[in-house]
Structure 1
């Protein structure tokens, strides 16, 4: 019997690339998104089912998961929905702050919680989450986005102990810069006191040559779903691997000094 993967945030980027790849590999794919009526590709693939799901809507999460599990089995849940809110904390409204955490962190937690009883009963299952290199190191003008990804890291590691006794796995994918629509769609909060830092950091991001494609990250997701290991973190993308290796080698304070020098016109380490 073909396996089934449930994907959130499948309308673009890594989510859509993963949906296509898993379907090509013979998996049944449940691709969820906020506006399925706008989807023009995935709904044409025979083994892909497109469903509406806003991960900030708890009732919709519960109803959608229940509906899915009443009609089919699910083997893997890929929590991918998310976006990057950039800007200094002083520039970010409370509404923006809450929405970022509701989407990137609580959405993941709530979707996962909805599936746990099902996976526990069958003593099998795997959760994969799209984290970020921003969950491994803190970067300028990204404190709330970084916080949402750091939260994923601690939550996943802690939860792994709860789930392991029931044969359930949990893994996190940690890419660096990815050539997806997230960069164009993500909101940027501005404040004159921090514009110089924001512009400097965004300039470094824009000039980066080490950008991974969504399709390359989808391959990592597929590997995580099929490698049969208990590996917790998958750092991927040359930039993320180089950055994380450097941080571990030099330590937190030297790494922070390197970031500061980068902002002041030094060599990029991202």
Structure 2
């Protein structure tokens, strides 16, 4: 793919989204970096190829307005990177219906909203790529992340199904399944669910949470995922899934017997 292309990235204010925006700009692409509060971001100062747009993936009107603005200002959209998301952590019993719905609205329905908005444009041009940032937690599960994993597992099914549908229109679908990455996930992009009076899980949380955080701190940098997104966006190889810093983890899920794999995860995170 030539350099005179435009990529729209959701959740570009920090972490993987920001690293991806900077990488594409460095390599000559026009970057439509979208976020809920572009007025608070300094990302546009990093390159004259980066333009900021206001977009809330949970608001269909906001999505449609942003997509229309990007097409008008940039001349088209060649690649969409559905990156916006966050993690809801904590025992399922402590999670409210509102918290669970918000997790799905952002991580799953937000992707559907953006994808639905760009597909008519891509079909008309008979070209485009949809790159969905999932997680290794969409192929496995982690203790205390039942709802986060549920959204990422659902994203896997949606992406693979869409892959079949869009081939006839020359639109490619890719799934990025990162392992643990050093971002501000634990400080900025995570919500911890608690319930007054519910103490039955306190010991379990106290055992597991430090190990989850330690695993994140030992993870790869966001740039590793950004490079995988770049490959998924530009490679001619007909590959559906990419696993930056997660190849062994995902491979193990497919080949290690289930009861042994679960025991390995329990031991890794002290989830007894």
Q: Secondary structure at the match of 1:236?
A: coil
Aligned match of 2:255? 249
1:224 matches 2:228: no
Aligned match of 1:198? 205
Aligned match of 1:17? 19
- Is residue 4–residue 74 contact of structure 1 (8 Å, CA) maintained in 2? yes
Aligned match of 1:109? 112
Q: Secondary structure at the match of 1:105?
A: helix
Q: Could you report, residue by residue, the CA deviation over 1:52-96 in whole angstroms, capped at 9, with x for unpaired residues?
A: 111111111111112222341111000000001101110011111
Q: Could you report, residue by residue, the CA deviation over 1:104-134 in whole angstroms, capped at 9, with x for unpaired residues?
A: 0000011001111111111110010110010
Unaligned runs of 5+ in 1: none
CA distance in 2 between partners of 1:224 and 1:243 (Å): 20
Aligned match of 1:150? 153
**Paired residues, what number?**
264
Shift in Å, 1:43: 4.0
TM-score between both structures, scaled by the size of structure 1 = 0.93
CA distance in 2 between partners of 1:196 and 1:255 (Å): 23
> Which of 211, 214, 236 is the aligned partner of 1:207?
214
> Which of 177, 181, 184 is the aligned partner of 2:180?
177
- Is residue 79–residue 108 contact of structure 1 (8 Å, CA) maintained in 2? yes
Question: Which range moves more in the overlay, 225-234 or 19-28?
Answer: 225-234
Shift in Å, 1:7: 0.4
Aligned match of 1:188? 192
Spell out the pairing of 1:29-178 with structure 2 (5 A cutoff): 29-71=31-73, 72-178=75-181
Cα 1:153–1:25 shift into 2, 3 Å: same
Aligned match of 2:30? 28
Shift in Å, 1:195: 2.0
TM-score between both structures, scaled by the size of structure 2 = 0.92
Which 4+ runs in 1 deviate beyond 3 A?
261-266
Q: Secondary structure at the match of 2:87?
A: coil
Compute the RMSD of aligned alpha carbons.
1.6
Q: Could you report, residue by residue, the CA deviation over 1:134-169 in whole angstroms, capped at 9, with x for unpaired residues?
A: 001012111110011001100000111110110000
Q: Secondary structure at the match of 1:78?
A: strand
Cα 1:214–1:264 shift into 2, 3 Å: closer
CA distance in 1 between partners of 2:164 and 2:88 (Å): 31
Unaligned runs of 5+ in 2: none
CA distance in 2 between partners of 1:265 and 1:118 (Å): 47
- Is residue 43–residue 50 contact of structure 1 (8 Å, CA) maintained in 2? no
Q: Secondary structure at the match of 1:102?
A: helix
Cα 1:65–1:206 shift into 2, 3 Å: same
